[in-house]
Amino acid sequence: MDPVEPPRTKGWPIGPVPAAYARQTGGSLKARGDWSEGRRSHRGSASEAVKGLLLAGGHGTRLRPLTFTGNKHMIPLANQPMLFYGLRHLAEAGIREVGIVLGPIREGIEEAVGDGGRFGLSVTYIEQGEPRGLADAVRCAHRPFLGSDPFVMYLGDNVLQEGVLPLADAFRAATPDAIIGVTRVADPSRFGIVEMAGDRIVSIEEKPAAPRSDLALIGVYVFGPQVHSIIEGLSPSARGELEITDAIWRLHQRRGRVLVRPVEGWWKDTGRPEDLLEANERILRSMPDVAFLREGTVTRGGRLDGSVALGKGATVGADVVVRGPVVIGDRAVLSDGAQVGPAVAVGAGAVIRGAQVERSIILEGARIEGPIHLRDSIVGRDAVVNRSATPGAETVCVVGDSTQIAF
């Protein structure tokens, strides 16, 4: 089956083609080039082959209770697992071999990604065991997968608008020892921070208590093979981890050529529930009209305003109002005067009955029932949120999978 090739359109969302688009065009989700206007996919020759290393370990403690029952990288954004965005970006950069580093919580990753063929990739799974830092993940991947090849290291819980193509192309053109992507942030103590003096690196520090800069590492790096010997000589930090910032700094101190590149467009580290909600909204608002297909049924009296995707078998009942941007998954049901949107993703088979839901992520099979007003909320798979009394104030909640809450 030929891969899907949507028309070129400005602002095509990051990540794989929506399943509804693939069904309509008879195609698959396999990556084929870049579908955003003004961008291209770098195929690269064998002599400049770059591998991908996608990190999907960690415990996701800041996202509990969502991560009590699953891997954080499988939490959906705009109804696509977060991990898929990284895979898509690596494919767009002309990378064909990708290693996915797995930790102790891995539910659903291998089943969803498989051998990577749907993305145009060949995927190898790498065991890290207990997470002991980003540099430790590289150490685990060195001999079984990376070898002496250059590689893009991509943290699977980061989402960025421009993808990794600019960084990969800059590496191919300049052949440095490393390229690190950075952006300015308002809260630098949460990130690895680079201090610069013009084009010169002055310092690199992981989560500094007293930051000397607001240039944060975005979780996408390109390394040559020189980094491996440096990582072998690292000692654990005060946090008990092998820090990738220590490896970059030591590479710089040994006169390695380390380039710093600011990224364009938005970037989001999705380590907290509020970050997931912001990333979900940014993706929804970046999607062009071609992505908002309507395959379901809208009953007379139901209303879809703006950009709304309606999945196969989904139903919107009478007196229901949906204000885009919103994506509604297959077989979802909105009824009894529900009001949904803007900036809401409703998973497959979810039910929203009589409720108002804004700027939220409702996962597969969840049920929101009664006169409740949810905002800035995440409701896990097969969870139930119910209100039987009269309407109350706005409710903000993060509900784990298969949980039942009644107000």
Q: From the centroid of its chain, how far is CA 198?
A: 32
Per residue in 122-151, pLDDT (tens digit) is 999 998 877 788 999 999 999 999 999 999
pLDDT in the model for residue 280? 96
Per residue in 313-370, pLDDT (tens digit) is 999 999 999 999 999 999 999 999 999 999 999 999 999 999 999 999 999 999 999 8
Span of 59-68, 90-99, 151-160, 182-191 with lowest mean pLDDT: 59-68
Query: How crowded is residue 99: how many other Cβ atoms within 10 Å of its Cβ?
Result: 23
Residues 194 and 219 in one domain: yes
Which pLDDT band holds residue 199 (cuts at 50, 70, 90)? confident
Span of 13-17, 116-120, 193-197, 353-357 with lowest mean pLDDT: 13-17
Which pLDDT band holds residue 10 (cuts at 50, 70, 90)? very low
Residues 25 and 136 in one domain: yes
Domains of the chain: total: 2
pLDDT tops 60 at residue 8 = no
Residue 43 within a domain: yes
Q: Would you say 14 and 263 are in contact if contact means Cβ atoms under 8 Å apart?
A: no
Tokens describing residue 377: 């909320």
Chosen domain end from 257, 285, 313: 285
Chosen domain end from 230, 261, 285: 285
Per residue in 286-321, pLDDT (tens digit) is 988 899 999 999 999 999 999 999 999 999 999 999
Q: Is the dihedral of CA 6, 97, 71, 278 positive or negative?
A: negative
Residues 389 and 275 in one domain: no
pLDDT in the model for residue 43? 41
pLDDT in the model for residue 58? 65
Q: Which amino acid is at 175?
A: T
- The model's pTM is 0.84
Residue 63 within a domain: yes
Q: From the centroid of its chain, how far is CA 398?
A: 19
Structural domain boundaries enclosing 402:
293-406
Residues 269 and 305 in one domain: no
pLDDT in the model for residue 48? 57
CATH number at residue 365: 2.160.10.10
Please tell me the distance from the alpha carbon of residue 321 to that of residue 78, in angstroms, as a whole number. Answer: 19
pLDDT tops 80 at residue 169 = yes
Cα dihedral value 121, 4, 265, 251, nearest 10 = 10
Q: Specify the higher pLDDT residue, 162 or 3.
A: 162
Residue 8 within a domain: no
Nearest to 4 by CA among 24, 23, 27: 27
- Could you give the C-alpha distances from 247 to 40, 156, 164, 342, in angstroms and in order? 31, 20, 21, 43
Average pLDDT over every residue of 238-266: 89
Average pLDDT over every residue of 11-21: 44
Which pLDDT band holds residue 55 (cuts at 50, 70, 90)? very high
CATH number at residue 67: 3.90.550.10
